Chains A and B, each alone.
Chain A
Amino acid sequence: ETGVTQSPTHLIKTRGQQVTLRCSSQSGHNTVSWYQQALGQGPQFIFQYYREEENGRGNFPPRFSGLQFPNYSSELNVNALELDDSALYLCASSYAGNTLHEAFFGQGTRLTVV
């Protein structure tokens, strides 16, 4: 177990709806990154949060947004859901002071958009 927890584990949404996914980082970690993993693919970087601000973003549209809280936990929000948003959403936490920046992943949230 990595100590990174995500909720919910599974959910089903309808196209056009909005969804919020949550992540609690591992104790001592101050950086949270979100990844989208489509079936049969490697994880794709969405964005990263450090000190409650976005610190790098991948090739995802603005309807993907996030928050980081003072306790370093984080949320991923997706608006106007599309069918292609169906994927496993992974949260990874790390400590920015570690030059290797080893990242530990949670179990993921399986989102299905119908």
Chain B
Amino acid sequence: GESVGLHLPTLSVQEGDNSIINCAYSNSASDYFIWYKQESGKGPQFIIDIRSNMDKRQGQRVTVLLNKTVKHLSLQIAATQPGDSAVYFCAEKTSGSRLTFGEGTQLTVNP
């Protein structure tokens, strides 16, 4: 079936570096994508979203890039901080408001 997956299960970076988390999706009909951050013991927290008619969207220290040609989504975090350590999920909106999540990438920020 259609699914959203991630290229790397873990990512370790030094504090202050930029982080890039990748995601592949397979449903070419999806029109909306979201990145969530999930800290241990908490629910997913909305970070940033992007519609399929956009290639790039920027937020505070975060940028999402969408490449529809290769069905690839990425999340860039600038000047990564220890508080950014968490699991990051990309999610794809399929039918209605149903979200399909990938398996997640564990980001670890080393001081």
A residues whose Cβ falls under 8 Å from a Cβ of B: 2, 4, 6, 31, 33, 35, 40-45, 48, 55-56, 58, 90, 92, 94, 96, 100-108
Contact = CB atoms under 8 A, between A and B. Distances in A.
A90 B97 contact: no
Interface stretch (B63-71, B73-81, B98-106): B98-106
B42 A108 contact: yes
Contacts, number: 69
24 contacts: A2-B45, A2-B46, A35-B101, A40-B103, A40-B104, A42-B91, A42-B102, A45-B98, A48-B97, A55-B96, A56-B95, A56-B97, A90-B44, A96-B97, A101-B32, A101-B93, A101-B96, A102-B46, A102-B49, A103-B99, A105-B43, A106-B43, A107-B43, A108-B43
B107 interface: no
A31 B97 CA distance: 9
B25 interface: no
Q: How large, as a class, is the contact surface on chain B?
A: 20 to 34
Given A45-B99, A56-B96, A102 B44 contact: no
Contacts of A96: 97
